[in-house]
Structure 1
Amino acid sequence: MEFKKPVSVLVVIHTPVLEVLLLERTKHPGFWQSVTGSQEDGEPLLETARREVREETGIDSAAVDFIDWQLSNLYEIFAEWRYRYAPGVMHNTEHVFSLCLPERIDVTVAPDEHLGYRWLPWRDAAAACFSWTNRDAILELPQRFAPHAAPG
């Protein structure tokens, strides 16, 4: 078994009015999240973000469309998922990116990873996320991209 690298990306996909795309995890119905995924050996983080978005949603955006927030989070890997990492690896470093689409679109989820998707206003999306890092990134959207959208 090849172990996952404990470095990943979180990509918050949203519209200009801050509707956020969330995906429901296959192995955990009711767990909603943005696109996430581990970096592969030798892969720049931006390419990890592009690859994961393409694999999980079918969206094939250019590298210039992604914004690297220059923000990383360190979190403890859930015990049930540690077997995918080398023995003794307990933490992951997650790098935050965003991708703004002109409007909501239909996506094609990877059925081995996600049951479905939904677009939600940013506050509802943040409340629906099981991950604190994902919630915090979504809550930061109005300050980063659309202060006029914050009341909604």
Structure 2
Amino acid sequence: MKLLLDESSAIDAQRILESIEADSVLGFLTPLVLEEVVFKLIYATASSKLNTSNVWKIRGALKSDKALRKECTRVVEKFNEYVEYLASKGLRIESVHYSDWLNSLEYIGKYGLLPADAIHVAVARRLKVDIIASFDEDFKAIEELKVIP
């Protein structure tokens, strides 16, 4: 996401993605991660086009403005093409299981994580992943995981 939005951490994000492309690391994603990224892409695209950060105005415009929807869809499709490319290079798309939800409750209670973040941790633990790539500072409190970059 940082790379796509050209933020200051783009170099770190690019290195992680290049490592997956080069097959030097094994990467995992879930549909929940994809949903979060796509939401931010749609929001950023619409916010830029509409010159507003008001989520309610953006939601309304997405419903009524066909051209805006088309532009947002184009951005999402481009992102999805890249995900498919990474998958062809070894990126694994993993499902979220109900057991992940149940296990996430522990991380909500233990670390005060929001539900989606707790699910990410639960999936990582199920997959026996001990390193995650995230710019979300909340993950740094998780004793069971090392956060990069």
Q: Quick check: which one's helix share is greater?
A: 2
TM-score (norm 1): 0.26
TM-score (norm 2): 0.26
Q: Quick check: which one's strand share is greater?
A: 1
Higher relative contact order (CA 8 A, sep 6+): 1
Higher radius of gyration, 1 or 2: 2
